[in-house]
Chains A and B, each alone.
Chain A
Amino acid sequence: MSRWNKALCAMALVLAANQAWAQHSGIGRAATPAEIAAWDTDVRGDFKGLPPGSGSVSHGEVVWEAKCASCHGSFGESNQFFPPLIGGVTAEDIRTGRVAGLAKGGEQRSTVMKLSKISTLWDYINRAMPWQAPKTLTADEVYALTAYILHQGNIVPGSFVLSDKNMAEVQARLPNRNGMTRKHGLWETRGKPDVKAVACMRNCGPEPRITSQLPDHAAGSHGDLVEQYRLFGPVRMAALPVASAVPAAAPAVVSDPGRSLADKNGCLACHAPKQRTIGPALAEIASKYRGDSGAESRLVAKVRAGGQGVWGTTPMPPFQNLQEQDLRAMVQWILKAE
């Protein structure tokens, strides 16, 4: 074989190899329609992806009390664990499509104040709620819950039934439907900045004036700073008074596996050690069942099933996916609370 031929052969081999690489043969496989349907649940602003179904405000109220009220409050007004869903919109806002309160400032921004697309609310409830058991609601329940929230926000009447057929009508009533803009320079890398500074080097501007300092009451808000930096180097952390508001964790309690499991599984979001918050305090539960040898098993079943009525009307959601041994460890820890 001549040198020329050899070179051609070599080139052909290289080309063939490149082609094989470009195709990535043997990598991945076709997704089945059932697989795509199982995961492709997103609902867009133009309602692409919205499944058929319906739900009434009154059905929504029932589902809400059972699965949502413990975190968000009975009327979606709670600010205890998450920002409030409801509040801050007026009939005039519904007319204009711009929530006037957003320009004023001051109050906390609720979900209905910000919401510009009804699909956003539907999609999020469907994919991520309830908090500890996401993706377990039926489409009709999602319609019903969306209707209930809209009713709490005075956007639809109490007799309303929301469905895939009338989502667009509700969209046209959303108080902040005209409150969003995409006209700014922060979406694309080449977008135009909205603030233009210049890099002056000498005698720039007037003598600087301090306009804000950490307020005294916040000095200790982040714990003991000395423990947040190494004990050698060019600087140390300054010792600051630690605010009493920062709870000091007792090591003996922290080391209990039941405690870390309770924290990990979100129990402590509703049950505080000593004060009644959304649910009864841990100390209250322990005190009620002290000396009751069957309490542990009964409480394990209760946590799994959820319940209502023992401590008040706020229901506790069911926690069905907990491991038996984890659940027992948590209940044992709770029953030791003082």
Chain B
Amino acid sequence: MAQGDPAILQLPAHSTGLGQPVAARGYGKPSEYEKNLQRRESPGLTRVSQSSVAFAPLQGLFGIITPNGLHFERHHQGWWDIDPRQHRLMLHGLVREAKVYTMDDLMRLPSVSRIHFIECGANSGMEWANVAVPTVQYSHGMLSCCEFTGVRLATLLEHCGADVKKGRYILAEGADGSGLTRTIGMERALDDVIVAWAMNGECLRPENGYPLRLVVPGVQGVSWVKWLRRLEVGDQPWDTREEALHYIDLMPDGLHRQYSSVQECKSVITTPSGGQVLLNKGQYNVTGLAWSGRGRIRRVDVSVDGGRNWKTARLETPVLPKALTRFNMAWNWDGRPAILQSRAIDDTGYVQPKIAQLRAVRGTRSIYHNNAIQSWLVAASGEVSNVQVE
């Protein structure tokens, strides 16, 4: 370093040679240097990869939009790449006329584009009783956010003449082997549910339901039925497997809560986060994500002393209902141990709770809907680890 940085003083090949032509890659890919950011399974969580989860690498993402190739995956019986020309959507039950739609039909209808988060009901589910995983990818990575494009379910229901008085519920069914089925309330269906064919400007990825999926804003991911082929209007909920044997929350008295659906207000700091190490003392940008299934994020507070004192973080725009919201806060690390936390408040006034507050009501065996404040311990060495505090 006598004269300066070799990266400046010695001109590299890319400054002294000819670069690559346009369209060298007809569909662009991330840089070679980004290959560490991958969707990953959590070893030991499931034993069969067709019925499993791949978590999104939240520790490496920016803003609020999840790149399509890094959107988290959850399949119940494996995924398929379905030929859209052979795909059909049937709408029947308590309707004036049962109808069949092709993709051609659906894409001629008036469409909407909306940014919404999707979170699996079991996100952070491994940590109800204790710390179980090292990084935010595995603690919170069943979370993604996209701009979805499709037709409002209300439009289709109207088109078929759905009896919205008697038909209080809708069953949505996937075309995959699992034939995944979930009941959705009519009020919600008429509100903001979308039958979507696109995410982030391109058609859905096969892993995310190509060519058609349901988007149920604010509700846990299992209701966002992928490879959507059938919608039935009925007068009762269906009690299907994914709403009567799984995705039910066990309470301390042994009762299971059924149809727990709303993803309540939650946030997490993604940098610095578990498994990382700070480079040295000095300035850092504490950044993370906040979201609420009941509406818009009103405020996010950040603590660096384990929840004793809080400062309000800066929210990046846009701040949209039922969408991820990015927060940032400058922090000067003095080299001493610190415990970082974030706490979100939504526009209903609901405050994200501590894990102890959740446990006092729901125990530790619920699996689903853990929206507790996350704590990251920064050691004097700069190493960051996943901890729980009281």
Q: Measuring CB to CB, which residues of chain A are less than 8 angstroms from any residue of chain B?
A: 21, 24, 26-31, 35-36, 39-40, 42, 44-46, 48, 80-82, 98-105, 109, 111, 114-117, 119-120, 123-124, 127-128, 131, 134-135, 179-182, 184-191, 193-205, 207-215, 218-219, 221-223, 225, 227-238, 240, 245-246, 263-264, 266, 269
Encoded as 1 (CB less than 8 Å from any A CB) or 0, chain B from 54 to 84 comes to 0001011000000000000000111000000
Residues of B within 8 A of A81 (CB): 47-48
Encoded as 1 (CB less than 8 Å from any A CB) or 0, chain B from 150 to 181 comes to 00000100010000000000010100011101
Which of A128, A207, A218 has a CB less than 8 Å from the CB of B177? A128
A201 in contact with B309 (CB, 8 Å) = yes
Q: Is B308 an interface residue (CB 8 A)?
A: yes
Distance (whole angstroms) from the CB of B304 to the closest CB of chain A: 11
Q: What is the bound-complex CA distance between A238 and B90, given in angstroms? A: 51
Residues of B within 8 A of A269 (CB): 47-48
Q: What is the bound-complex CA distance between A212 and B279, given in angstroms? A: 25
Q: What is the bound-complex CA distance between A181 and B390, given in angstroms? A: 30
B108 in contact with A27 (CB, 8 Å) = yes
Give 26 A-B contacts (CB < 8 Å), ordered by A residue. Answer: A24-B109, A28-B99, A29-B100, A35-B90, A40-B230, A42-B238, A98-B254, A99-B254, A102-B256, A105-B363, A114-B256, A117-B239, A181-B251, A182-B259, A188-B262, A195-B360, A197-B353, A210-B339, A213-B377, A218-B132, A218-B133, A221-B44, A221-B134, A235-B279, A236-B277, A266-B78
- Of the listed stretches B7-15, B18-26, B30-38, B202-210, name the one at the interface; the rest are far from the partner chain: B30-38
Residues of B within 8 A of A115 (CB): 244-245
Residues of B within 8 A of A193 (CB): 264, 350
Given A27-B109, A36-B98, A238-B277, A221-B43 contact (CB < 8 Å): yes
Distance (whole angstroms) from the CB of A260 to the closest CB of chain B: 11
Q: What is the bound-complex CA distance between A101 and B293, given in angstroms? A: 33
Residues of B within 8 A of A235 (CB): 271-272, 276-279, 384
Residue of B nearest to A227 (CB): B36
Given A24-B109, A195-B361, A230-B36 contact (CB < 8 Å): yes
A39 in contact with B229 (CB, 8 Å) = yes
Q: Measuring CB to CB, which residues of chain B are less than 8 angstroms from any residue of chain A?
A: 33-34, 36-38, 40, 42-44, 47-51, 57, 59-60, 76-78, 90-92, 97-101, 105, 108-110, 130-135, 137-138, 155, 159, 171, 173, 177-179, 181, 185, 187-188, 191, 218, 229-230, 232, 234, 236-241, 244-245, 248-262, 264, 271-272, 274-279, 284-285, 293-295, 299, 301, 305-310, 339, 343, 345, 350-354, 357-358, 360-363, 365, 369, 377, 383-390
A209 in contact with B134 (CB, 8 Å) = no
Which of B77, B262, B293, B301 has a CB less than 8 Å from the CB of A128? B77
Distance (whole angstroms) from the CB of B39 to the closest CB of chain A: 11
Q: What is the bound-complex CA distance between A48 and B235, given in angstroms? A: 11
A195 in contact with B77 (CB, 8 Å) = no
A238 in contact with B239 (CB, 8 Å) = no
Q: What is the bound-complex CA distance between A36 and B89, given in angstroms? A: 11
A238 in contact with B276 (CB, 8 Å) = yes
Residue of A nearest to B287 (CB): A234
Given A240-B275, A246-B43, A179-B256 contact (CB < 8 Å): yes
Q: What is the bound-complex CA distance between A294 and B361, given in angstroms? A: 64
B92 in contact with A219 (CB, 8 Å) = no
Which of A101, A123, A186 has a CB less than 8 Å from the CB of B369? A186
Known pairs A42-B181, A222-B43 / 14 extra A-B pairs, C-beta < 8 Å:
A31-B91, A36-B92, A36-B98, A45-B237, A98-B254, A114-B256, A128-B177, A187-B262, A188-B188, A189-B262, A195-B358, A196-B351, A214-B385, A236-B277
Q: What is the bound-complex CA distance between A234 and B59, given in angstroms? A: 11
Q: What is the bound-complex CA distance between A219 and B43, given in angstroms? A: 12
Residue of A nearest to B180 (CB): A128
Closest 9 CB pairs of A and B: A208-B306, A103-B254, A102-B254, A124-B241, A127-B179, A186-B260, A212-B388, A134-B177, A31-B98
Residues of B within 8 A of A21 (CB): 110
Which of B49, B240, B274, B390 has a CB less than 8 Å from the CB of A120? B240
Residues of A within 8 A of B261 (CB): 186-187
B275 in contact with A237 (CB, 8 Å) = yes
Which of A103, A197, A213, A214 has a CB less than 8 Å from the CB of B352? A197
Residue of B nearest to A198 (CB): B351
Given A100-B254, A228-B36, A214-B272 contact (CB < 8 Å): no
Q: Which of A28, A46, A119, A124 has the most CB of B within 10 A?
A: A28
Q: What is the bound-complex CA distance between A105 and B251, given in angstroms? A: 10
Residues of A within 8 A of B308 (CB): 203-205, 207-208
Q: What is the bound-complex CA distance between A103 and B131, given in angstroms? A: 23
Distance (whole angstroms) from the CB of A280 to the closest CB of chain B: 18
Residues of A within 8 A of B34 (CB): 230
Residues of B within 8 A of A213 (CB): 131, 377, 385-388
Residue of A nearest to B367 (CB): A109
Q: What is the bound-complex CA distance between A111 and B248, given in angstroms? A: 12
B90 in contact with A180 (CB, 8 Å) = no
Q: Which of A30, A42, A134, A196 has the most CB of B within 10 A?
A: A42
Distance (whole angstroms) from the CB of B149 to the closest CB of chain A: 17
Residues of A within 8 A of B260 (CB): 184, 186-187
Residues of A within 8 A of B90 (CB): 31, 35-36, 39
Distance (whole angstroms) from the CB of A266 to the closest CB of chain B: 6
Distance (whole angstroms) from the CB of A200 to the closest CB of chain B: 7
Residues of A within 8 A of B43 (CB): 221-223, 245-246
B44 in contact with A131 (CB, 8 Å) = no
Which of B99, B179, B249, B253 has a CB less than 8 Å from the CB of A135? B179
Which of A119, A186, A208, A264 has a CB less than 8 Å from the CB of B339? A208
